[in-house]
Amino acid sequence: MALTLLALGAWAGVSWAQKPAPPQPKPTAAQPAAAQAQGKVYLTPTCGCCSKWVDHMVSAGFKLEREVTTELEALAPRKRVPASLRSCHTAIIGKYLVEGHVPADVVQKLQKENPAGVIGLSAPNMPVGSPGMEGPNAQPYPIVAFKADGTSYEYTRVTPR
């Protein structure tokens, strides 16, 4: 019986052997696997630094859709960001809010660690040296994690390169 099935399979051009899966591209340093989250960034039409931040995130492997708005403050996602942590743009990446110029590697860290209760990160006050805000005299700056109840804490400190 097995010989008959094998002969019929060969005659019909059917391969009974399991084919190996096609090779998957390996993530590069610029595009780690964790960075494949999709999202949307809300920004104003006149903010060049925000566009540079989006370019930084895309070059790190994030897939972001840009939505230009003149009413940033009216957006529902932005209303979940504590007022003291708001910046020049708001993004939703995966399940997290990202406010301002948070570096891609910090967003990747957040996605990997998934800290309890955290709904987002902020780089408050548009710090010089952050992605999109490159400039002289850059100083280390905090990235702040925030929760739905409005509490926040310093998640990490970034030293500009």
Q: Rounded to whole angstroms, how far apart are CA atoms 59 and 22?
A: 25
Residue 148 covered by a domain: yes
Residue 48 covered by a domain: yes
Digit-coded pLDDT (tens) for 23-36: 434 444 444 444 45
Residue 21 covered by a domain: no
- pTM, full prediction: 0.77
Give the CATH number of the domain where residue 111 resides: 3.40.30
Structural contact between residues 115 and 148, judged by C-beta atoms closer than 8 angstroms:
no
Percent of the chain with pLDDT over 90: 73
Digit-coded pLDDT (tens) for 139-151: 999 999 999 999 9
Residue 7 covered by a domain: no
Number of domains, the chain: 1
Give the pLDDT confidence score for residue 36 in this predicted structure.
58
Interhelix angle 48-59/104-113, nearest 10 degrees:
60
> Which of 1-5, 13-17, 34-38, 46-50 has the lowest average pLDDT?
13-17
* List of E strands, the chain: 38-43, 63-68, 90-93, 96-100, 118-123, 141-147, 152-158
- 137 phi, psi to nearest 5 deg: 60, 35
Instruction: Give the structural domain span for 129.
Output: 31-158
Residue 130 covered by a domain: yes
